[in-house]
Structure 1
Amino acid sequence: MTTRRMQGRIAAARTFDRKANTVPKARSWTRRIYVNFGAPEELLDACALLISEVAANAVLHGAGATYTVTVAPDLWIEVWDASPLLPRHREHELTSEGGRGLELLELLAPGYQVIKDTPRGGKCVRFPPKRWA
């Protein structure tokens, strides 16, 4: 684990191998950070679902050997991978298992951002999970 500045705040960051078996590790690591930052209980499920989706997308559609997850104290999450290709809405059947990542972000993290990362290359997907009512 390392620390660095994200959006002006000190954050926890961890780099994972871009392999499918790291997605649960990224999810549990992020959840622990959220708990340590005092996140309300209702955010933990949204956090787990969204980090699973975005980390899985970094594994499936990203580039490079690794991806990095950063969590800021204001509970924004950032997932970086080396691919410069930005996510896009995909057509999918009702029974398909994939293609709903941006829909989930729009529903559970309406302030999400997709940013080309000029200093490192690649892109970042940043989002603050919203509270569930």
Structure 2
Amino acid sequence: MSRARAFAGRAYAPFPWIDHEVVKLLVSETATNAVLHAGGGGFDLICHSPMGGSIQIELHDRSRIEPLRRPHTVWDSHGRGLELLDLLAPGWSVVPTLTGKGLIFSLEAKPCTETVSPPPTTR
């Protein structure tokens, strides 16, 4: 999962308007789910180039079983991956493929919140 997270971080490093921490979090969550819950097989990660203010990321695994919401308590350290997708990438989807399935999510560009003050005037 750390390799997938690092790959996504490098893929979007040239684009400062993308929230890199959210990208890495969601890639890590989806990759972990693929390894733990999709039969332990490998996965493929596709990071699409930014277009129109958003990016799309696909994670393909070798299982046809759709992700399941897992019950958890406030103290559990697992079971929140789909909740994170719902919150940070609403509209994510799962599509069947010839070899398993793909989980696809999109992220909108974060708004620029930095303001630049003009230099002080001298008299």
User: TM-score by structure 2 length?
Assistant: 0.79
Gaps of 5+ in 2: 112-123
Tell me by how many angstroms 1:67 deviates. 0.6
Q: Which residue of 1 aligns with 2:23?
A: 47
Alpha-carbon contact 2:35-2:41 (below 8 Å) kept: no
Return structure 1 stretches of 4+ with deviation > 3 angstroms: 130-133
Q: Aligned partners of 1:105 and 1:72: how far apart in 2?
A: 18
How many equivalent residue pairs?
107
Q: Aligned partners of 2:49 and 2:88: how far apart in 1?
A: 19
Tell me by how many angstroms 1:73 deviates. 0.9
Match of 1:110, SS state, is: coil
Write 1 or 2 for the structure with the bigger share of helix: 1
Task: Report % sequence identity.
Answer: 36
Task: Find 1:81's aligned residue among 46, 61, 69.
Answer: 61
Q: Aligned partners of 1:130 and 1:108: how far apart in 2?
A: 9
User: TM-score by structure 1 length?
Assistant: 0.73
Instruction: Write the deviation string for residues 101-121 of structure 1: whole angstroms up to 9, x where unpaired.
Output: 11000000012111111x2x2
Matched to 2:35, the amino acid is V
Q: Which residue of 1 aligns with 2:88?
A: 108
Q: Aligned partners of 2:31 and 2:23: how far apart in 1?
A: 12
Q: Aligned partners of 1:57 and 1:130: how far apart in 2?
A: 23
Q: Aligned partners of 2:68 and 2:8: how far apart in 1?
A: 24
Tell me by how many angstroms 1:68 deviates. 0.4
Task: Find 1:96's aligned residue among 76, 81, 84.
Answer: 76
Gaps of 5+ in 1: 1-22
